[in-house]
Amino acid sequence: MATMPYLPAIRRKIFIRGVVQGVGFRPFVYNLARSLGLSGYVLNSSSGVTIEVEGPEREVEQFLDRVRSHPPPLARITDISLEELPAQEEGGFVIRQSVAGDQEFALVSTDVATCEDCRRDFSDPANRRYGYPFTNCTNCGPRYTIVQDIPYDRPKTTMAPFEMCDPCRAEYEDPTDRRFHAQPNACSTCGPSIVLTPSGGLLPQAADYFAAKGDSLTTLKEVRERLRTGALVAVKGLGGFLLACDATNDAAVRLLRQRKRRSDKPFAVMARDLAAVESFCVVTEADRAALESPRRPIVILRRRSGSNLSRDIAPGNDSIGVMLPYTPLHFLLFGESQEQPPEFPALVMTSGNISEEPIVTSNAEARDRLGAVADWFLFHNRDIYMRADDSVTRTFEGRELVLRRSRGYVPQPVDLGMPLRELLACGAELKNTFCLTKDRYAVLSQHIGDFENYETQCFFEETLANLRKLLRVEPRAVAYDLHPTYLSTRFALRLPLERKIGVQHHHAHVASCMAENHLRGKVIGVALDGTGYGTDGKIWGGEILVANLAGFERRAHLRYVPLPGGDAAVRQPWRMALSYLRDTFGDASPALFGKQIPQHEMTLVNTMVARRIHAPETSSCGRLFDAVAAMLGLGDRVSFEGQAAIALENAATPGIEDRYEFLVEDAEPMRIDMRPTIEGIARDIAREKSGNHISACFHNTVAVVITEVCLRLRRIEGLNRVCLSGGVFQNMVLLKRSVELLRREGFEVFLHGQVPPNDGGISLGQAVIANEQLRLEG
C-alpha cells in the first residue's frame, strides 16, 4: 500500500490589524484552522489579532488566502504582516487568553443591529430566548457602548457582572455555535433584565431585576398597553434613553413636544419593518439599503401624503427621519410575534434628553432629568459605558450621506492612507465632534452636540478620556477653531500641550472633504454654511477657496451684509430679510412682512442696520437662505437651526430652470453680489408669483453662482477638482443642482459620504490640516 509523502510543516506568525475584535474573528480563525488540520493559536491583543499557525505549506497558504478574502462579515482588515517561525510540531489549535499592552491599540467595533438569526431566536416560542430583549451573537449586538478597554473581552465590558449560565457558557465555548466567544452572550436566566416603573417611583434595585428575570414578555405587554393609551415612555436603549410614544396619536406627540420643550424640531420615528416604512414614506433602493444596514441609522425620507402619522412629528416638513429596530427590545415593543402585523405603525423615538443636553444614559440620571417628561420608565440593568445618539443619514445619487455620525458609525476610523502624528482636534461649537489621529487613522467621536453648556462639556471630556484609552493616544498637539469664544477653542487652549494650532473654519470644511476622498494637492473648495470665524475677524459662511491641506486662499465670497443683533438674527430670520432688503433698496426697501412683525421691532432693526449698531458683517450663505425664506413668509422666527432653510427647500417646485440675476465683482477676492437676486425676488413677490416658483429659481441661482465662480477659477488656476462642504449642502435641491451644473462643465465633483458635511465633520479637517503643518515643520 502506497504511503502519503511526508510534507514538512511550516509555521507563520500573523499580525492582523483593523476592526477585528468583537466581530467573531477569533472563532472564524479557530474553525478555519481546524478545518484545514492546522495547529497553533489565536488571541486578541491591544493591537488587533495575533495568530500562529503551523502545518503543510499548501494548507497554510489556503488559510492565509481565506483570512484575506473571506473574513467575518463585520470585520475590516487594514493590515496583515507575517513572520516566519520554526515549526514546533504541537498538536491542535486553541484560542488563547487575550494580552493587553500599554501603547498598542486595536480598532473597536461599532454597535451592530440585531441579525436575522437572533431575531428568529427571540421570536420563536420554542426557543429558550423567546421574548428575551438582550439576545445577541458574534454577528450583532452592543460593542462600543459597552466596551471599557481593550482587548475586547467580557471582563472589560459592562457585561462583566453577568456570569453566564451553563447553557450560555456551553454556547460560548462551542466552536460550531454562532455565539462562540460572543462577549455579550446572555439569556433570561443569567443576563440583564427589564423593569417598568411609573415616573416618580423608586429606582429598581437588584432584587427587582432578579424578580423580573424570565418575565420580559409580560413587562413589554404592559409597555405596549401604556403606549396605546397615549403615555410617554422613557426606554433605556443601546446608547442612551429614548422617549417613545405612539406616532399616530396627535395628543401624545404634542404632549411630548410640550414636556421636552421642543416646539418644532422634527422627531424621529421607528417602524418595525420596511413594509411599515413604505406605508408612510417613499423609499428608494438606496434608502432601503441604508435602513436595513447593520448600522441602522435614522434615514431622512419623503413623507407620503395621506399617511396616518401625526403631522406634529415634523411640523411643516415634507420629510421625516425613520429608522428600523436595532435591538431585540425595539422589535418587541411592536409585538411578541414577528409574523403578525405590528401593534403600532410607528413609534416616535427621540433622544432622551431635555433640549440641548446630552442623551441620558444611567437609570438615576434618567429619573432625575426625564421625570417631568416621561410617564413611565422602562429600565434595564446593563450599564451604558459610552453614550451615543442615533446616527442620521440621507441618500443622494444612490449613496449614503451621513448628517450625524454616532451609533453604528463610531468609532470606525477614517483611513487616510498616510502616517499621522498623535493629536487632538477639538471641532467647532455646533454639532461638535472631536477627532484623534494615530498611525494612519483619524477617529471621530460620536456626535457630542452643541458645545454650549456644562453638560455637553462633561460629555466631551468623558468621551475624549475613553477614546484616548481605547486608542492608546497621547496627543502631542491640539487643533482648534479660530473663534475665540467657542468652548471647544477655550478647552483646547487650556490643555497643557506646547503645540496649539488654530484652523480656519471653512478651510477645515474643505480639508475634511479632501481627506475623506483621499485628495492631495490644490482643489477649489466651496464651503457654504451659517457661521465661521474669518481671518479678518468677520463672520464668514459663503466661501469659495483655493486650498490644499497646507493652506488656503479666499478667492470669492458672498458680499458682506449686516447681521442685525448677532445671534438674534439666526433665531429671527426676518432680521436678515430686512438686512438684505435695505442693502438692496436702501431706505426705499419694500414692506414685505405685513403685520406679523411688531413695528417697534422693525424700527429697532432698521436702526441697527442703518447705523451698524450690534450688526456685525457676514458673508453667511445660511443667513441668505434664511432671508429669502422670511421674504416668502416661510419662517419669521425659528426654534432650531436650519428651520427656515428647510422650509425653503421643501417649497421649491422641481423642474423649473429659471433663475435670478447676480453679479460677481472682479476683485481679490471676488465678491458675489446677490442684490440683483433679492431685487428679482421682491419683484416676483409683488407680482404674486408663487413661493414655490421663487424658491426653485433662488436655488438655481445659487447653483449657477457656484458654477460661474468655479469656471473663473479654473481659467485662472487650471484646477478642475471641486469639493462641496458645509451645512448648506445638506439641502438636496441645491446639492443636486450644483453637482449637475458643475459636472456639465466638466468638473470633478467631490462630496462627503461617511463624514458629515456640516460642523460634525470640522474636526477631521482640523486634524489633517494640523498634521500637514506639523509634517512641513519636520
Q: How confident is the model at residue 15 (pLDDT cuts 50, 70, 90)?
A: very high
Q: What are phi and psi of 556, to 5 degrees?
A: -160, 150
HSE at residue 642, side-chain half, CA atoms within 13 A, is 18
What is the DSSP pairing of strand 194-198 with strand 663-665? unpaired
Q: How confident is the model at residue 1 (pLDDT cuts 50, 70, 90)?
A: very low
* ∠ Cα 325 329 335 (to 5°): 80
The pTM of the full predicted model, rounded to 2 decimals, is 0.93
Is the separation of the CB atoms in 210 and 322 below 8 Å? no
Q: Is the pLDDT of residue 126 over 50?
A: yes
The string of pLDDT tens digits covering residues 235-274 is 999 999 999 999 999 999 999 999 998 889 999 999 999 9
Q: How confident is the model at residue 104 (pLDDT cuts 50, 70, 90)?
A: low
Average pLDDT of the residues of the chain: 94
Q: How confident is the model at residue 101 (pLDDT cuts 50, 70, 90)?
A: low
The string of pLDDT tens digits covering residues 482-517 is 999 999 999 999 999 999 999 999 999 999 999 999
The string of pLDDT tens digits covering residues 539-556 is 999 999 999 999 999 999
Q: For 495-531, what is the HEC assignment?
A: CCCCEEEEECHHHHHHHHHHHHCCCCCCEEEEEEEEE
Q: How confident is the model at residue 589 (pLDDT cuts 50, 70, 90)?
A: confident
Q: What percent of the chain has pLDDT over 70?
A: 98
Number of neighbouring beta carbons within 10 Å of residue 288? 15
What is the pLDDT, as a whole number, of residue 727? 97
What is the pLDDT, as a whole number, of residue 588? 77
Q: How confident is the model at residue 103 (pLDDT cuts 50, 70, 90)?
A: low
Q: Is the pLDDT of residue 379 over 80?
A: yes
**H helical segments located in 190-304:** 206-212, 216-228, 250-260, 274-280, 285-292
What is the pLDDT, as a whole number, of residue 8? 83
Q: Is the pLDDT of residue 158 over 70?
A: yes
Q: What percent of the chain has pLDDT over 90?
A: 84
**H helical segments located in 293-374:** 328-333, 363-370
Is residue 777 within a helix (H) or strand (E), and if so which, with residue range? helix 762-777
- Average pLDDT of 385-398? 97
In angstroms, rounded to a whole number, what is the distance separating the alpha carbons of residues 148 and 160? 10
Number of neighbouring beta carbons within 10 Å of residue 454? 9
| Least confident span in 25-34, 97-106, 743-752 | 97-106
Give helix then strand counts, H and E, for the chain: 23, 30
